Structure 1
Amino acid sequence: MSRFWKIALIVVAVLVVGAVGLRLMHKPGAAGRSQAGAPSGQPGAPGEGKDKGKDEPVPVTVEPVAVQNVPVYLTALGTVQALNTVTVSPQVGGLLMKLNFTEGQEVHKGEVLAEIDPRSLQAAYDQAVARKGQDAAQLSTARSNLARSQDLVKQGYISKQDMDTLRNTVSQYEAAVAADEASINDAKVQLGYTKVIAPITGLAGIRGVDPGNIVTTSSSIVTLTEVHPINVIFPLPEQNVELVRSSQARGEPLEVAALDSAGSKVIAGKGVLKVINNQIDTSTGTFNLKAQFPNDENALFPGQFVNVRLKVNTVQGGLVIPSQAVQRGPDGDYVYLLQPDSTVKMQSVTTGQEVGDTHVMVTQGLKAAEQVVTEGQFRLKPGSKVKALKPGEVPAAPTEAELKKAAQGAKEGGRRGRRG
């Protein structure tokens, strides 16, 4: 091929490439892409439709800051303890003939719990009675002899020495009768011990012996626990000791309640604080307290663990809001506070005592009657426009005019998109 034709082919190729490139630069999609990069607010800019609705108010539920008297509680984990616990043992040995109680049954003070064979002790009692009768007869004879001898002494028939002997014989038999009386009383007491009596009113535990066995004074028949009333022992940190003591010094009994394991339900109320221990445990930094409950409904049982709530004070005119209004942030607790222009702002708050399961007392950051957002916070930011609703109220359905306006806005947005 000649050099002329080579140059001609190269020129043609350059022209073809240039034509193709020029055509690609004027392709319709490029214009769309160019418009896509246009600043917001210009025709064809994205988000124009969204900006149109950004001023729509956000429906939220609000509640006012309430004013009420708020009880102040200290809480702890406590252990239920029987008022009295008695292990019943026989005071005399012998054959156990009968048990008169049922395990787990409540027995009353003075009831006969068990009976021991009384025959040997009955015989000892009878012997003491007979011995007293014998000595009493001899005492009577000695007194008669002394009385007759009084007249004979005056006549000189009986010496002074014999009279002293007669007087001593009377004294001897008087002492014997007194000793017999003591023996009778002792035998009577021992005989009474053959019936084992309940020393307190309480619940009977599992019996330790069975009828037919020989029991001794070291045998355990049953353990009784007194549960009406009943005690609860619980610890508190040492920094609370002055608060509790000062509250008790006011003279009114401090109220105590026992709650279930979750701490949400009161299982025993009407408790009162009875004792503040006289020392602080240096190993734990706590001090123990004892509360007493009537336990009329048997809600508390010895050895049971319960959550204890001790009322130490009442704040007059405390500010209370729903707990769900309080949000946690990196700088602490805050709430969304409704402003007069129907916007909200973030307000830092300091919370204190819980009020029931649903409310909390605010000690700093709010005033009475101010409105706080309780539902819908996740859609808010400072300055958001809101539509305040009462608890349980739902937003009203949109009117026909509002629906038409929204449809018109969507239609205009679509036309702008097509023109772009």
Structure 2
Amino acid sequence: MRTHKKNALIAAALIILAALSLWYATKPATTKLATPTAIPVRVVSVTQKDVPRYVSGIGSVISLHSVVVRAQIDGILTKILVKEGQLVKTGDLLATIDDRSIRANLDQARAQLGQSQAQLQVAEVNLKRYKLLSVDDGVSKQTYDQQQALVNQLKATAQGNQAAIDSALVQLSYTQIHSPVTGRVGIRTVDEGNFLRMTDTQGLFTVTQIDPIAVAFALPQQMLPTLQGLINDPQHAQVKAYIGADTEGETGNLLGEGHLTLIDNQISANTGTIRAKAEFNNSGQKLWPGLLVTVKIQTALDKDALVVPPTVVQRGLDQHFVYRVNGDKVETVSVQMVYQGSSQDIIKGVNPGDVLVSDGQSRLKPGSTVQVLTDPPPVVQSESPQ
């Protein structure tokens, strides 16, 4: 009997254990609140400084004076007195042409002038004598008039002879070729001993002014009012010329600094651009005629401007905004875009020193928890054992 009760108790205990196991197995799990995950971002601080504004364009270096040296008379080139690439000044003797024939013509014209002057002198003496005799009818009026006409004729002949002398002197001056400008001599195309003609279009060489020099460039027509204000500024707008730079002029080698000197008198209807010119001092000869350069013109200066990198400002549906870090969370702040550049933007609506998100905005919304990332430490490579 005791054995039967004992077995009954064991069976009841097993049933209770099985029921408890089943209840725990089917018990609904309690919902645990997920811990918010911090979004990694990078940040920058708003800086305040004076920021110059620039406009950029592509320009071509041009010489202020470039002259093709040609012969003005026919003749043999007897001597070239300069070397290729030599710097010359205005009036320097560059080359000479055979002048023997012209000198002979000059001597002949001078001899004819002397002959005419001698004849004129005799005719004027006779004219005075005839004038005295005509008072007492010692000579006819007709004879006196003929003598007066002879004097006038000889005067005209003498003037013609003098004109021939002047012409020969001009021709003689053409046998010595002088530099019309200060500049650099180009590659020579004719050697000594060649016969030159006035009709030769190639010329002997070119003389091109290098210092000062100019850069011609084109800007959109919307820049015309700005350019007009700059060229009327007595301080002269500063223009910088670069090579190897993009249109923003942020990279590349600076070749020179000049000032705006000219705006073209019309806008191109085909391209909608206005041409302008700037002049540069070029003592170092870094600017060379024909060289393509990038020009930057300072159009304004924003004092105490609030500056951020371009990645900070986000574009909303109807306005710009930024994410500002407040503790470990972010908030959106509407801003006004004052100036947009390639490396920095000028904005309004924030304060100097505000910490703004510069990377990682795609996962953010107002009130998001953020984790500010720092730049990883530089990797130091250990030297391999020898």
TM-score by length of 1: 0.70
Listed as ranges, the gaps of 5+ residues in structure 2 are 1-24, 378-386
Other-structure match for 1:147: 128
Question: Residues 298, 198 of structure 1: CA spacing in aligned structure 2 closer, same or farther, 3 A cutoff?
Answer: same
> How far did residue 306 of structure 1 move?
0.6
1:133 alignment partner AA:
G
> How far did residue 333 of structure 1 move?
8.1
1:384 aligns with 2:367: no
Q: Distance in 1 between matches of 2:189 and 2:88?
A: 16
Q: Distance in 2 between matches of 1:39 and 1:217?
A: 108
> How far did residue 216 of structure 1 move?
0.6
1:243 aligns with 2:226: yes
Q: Give the stretch that moved more between structures: 291-300 or 244-253.
A: 244-253
Q: Distance in 2 between matches of 1:71 and 1:241?
A: 19
Contact 1:261 1:305 in 2 (8 A): no
Q: Distance in 2 between matches of 1:39 and 1:193?
A: 111
What SS does structure 1 have at the residue aligned with 2:64?
Answer: strand
What SS does structure 2 have at the residue aligned with 1:143?
Answer: helix
> How far did residue 352 of structure 1 move?
2.7
1:373-406 CA-to-partner distances (Å, cap 9, x unmatched) read 67x869x96422559x9xx998xxxxxxxxxxxx
1:169-220 CA-to-partner distances (Å, cap 9, x unmatched) read 2222111111111111110010010011111112222122111110011221
1:293 aligns with 2:280: yes
Other-structure match for 2:140: 159
1:243-280 CA-to-partner distances (Å, cap 9, x unmatched) read 33344455542221111222314523432222222222
1:79 to 47, 52, 60: 60
Question: Residues 317, 248 of structure 1: CA spacing in aligned structure 2 closer, same or farther, 3 A cutoff?
Answer: farther
What SS does structure 2 have at the residue aligned with 1:309?
Answer: strand
1:331-342 aligned within 5 A: 337-339=324-326, 341=327
Listed as ranges, the gaps of 5+ residues in structure 1 are 1-33, 395-420
Q: Distance in 1 between matches of 2:176 and 2:31?
A: 102
1:3-40 CA-to-partner distances (Å, cap 9, x unmatched) read xxxxxxxxxxxxxxxxxxxxxxxxxxxxxxx9xxx889
1:313-333 CA-to-partner distances (Å, cap 9, x unmatched) read 22233212356x637789898
Q: Distance in 2 between matches of 1:265 and 1:185?
A: 57
Contact 1:344 1:386 in 2 (8 A): no
> How far did residue 237 of structure 1 move?
1.6
1:184-199 aligned within 5 A: 184-199=165-180
Other-structure match for 1:360: 344
> How far did residue 159 of structure 1 move?
1.7
Other-structure match for 1:284: 271
Other-structure match for 2:293: 306
Other-structure match for 2:119: 138
2:312 to 326, 329, 337: 326
What SS does structure 1 have at the residue aligned with 2:209?
Answer: strand
Other-structure match for 1:370: 354
Question: Residues 182, 90 of structure 1: CA spacing in aligned structure 2 closer, same or farther, 3 A cutoff?
Answer: same
Q: Distance in 2 between matches of 1:217 and 1:147?
A: 50
Question: Residues 205, 245 of structure 1: CA spacing in aligned structure 2 closer, same or farther, 3 A cutoff?
Answer: same
Q: Distance in 1 between matches of 2:31 and 2:163?
A: 116
1:95 aligns with 2:81: no
> How far did residue 347 of structure 1 move?
5.6
Other-structure match for 1:201: 182
Give the superposed CA RMSD.
3.5
* Structure whose alpha-carbon radius of gyration is higher: 1
1:230 aligns with 2:213: yes
Q: Distance in 1 between matches of 2:77 and 2:170?
A: 18
1:54-82 CA-to-partner distances (Å, cap 9, x unmatched) read 78x9897754x222222221111111111
1:68 alignment partner AA:
K
1:317-375 CA-to-partner distances (Å, cap 9, x unmatched) read 3212356x637789898765342x35555667647344xx8x5132245322323467x
Q: Distance in 2 between matches of 1:326 and 1:61?
A: 9
Q: Percent identity?
A: 33
> How far did residue 92 of structure 1 move?
0.6
Q: Distance in 1 between matches of 2:340 and 2:178?
A: 51
Higher helix share: 1
2:116 alignment partner AA:
D
Other-structure match for 1:267: 254
1:81-116 CA-to-partner distances (Å, cap 9, x unmatched) read 111221111111100111122122222111111110
TM-score by length of 2: 0.75
Q: Distance in 2 between matches of 1:221 and 1:59?
A: 69
Q: Distance in 2 between matches of 1:362 and 1:259?
A: 25
Other-structure match for 1:418: none
Question: Residues 239, 252 of structure 1: CA spacing in aligned structure 2 closer, same or farther, 3 A cutoff?
Answer: same
1:366 alignment partner AA:
V
Q: Distance in 2 between matches of 1:40 and 1:303?
A: 77
* Aligned residue-pair number: 339
Question: Residues 348, 97 of structure 1: CA spacing in aligned structure 2 closer, same or farther, 3 A cutoff?
Answer: farther
Question: Residues 117, 289 of structure 1: CA spacing in aligned structure 2 closer, same or farther, 3 A cutoff?
Answer: same
Other-structure match for 1:23: none
What SS does structure 2 have at the residue aligned with 1:174?
Answer: helix
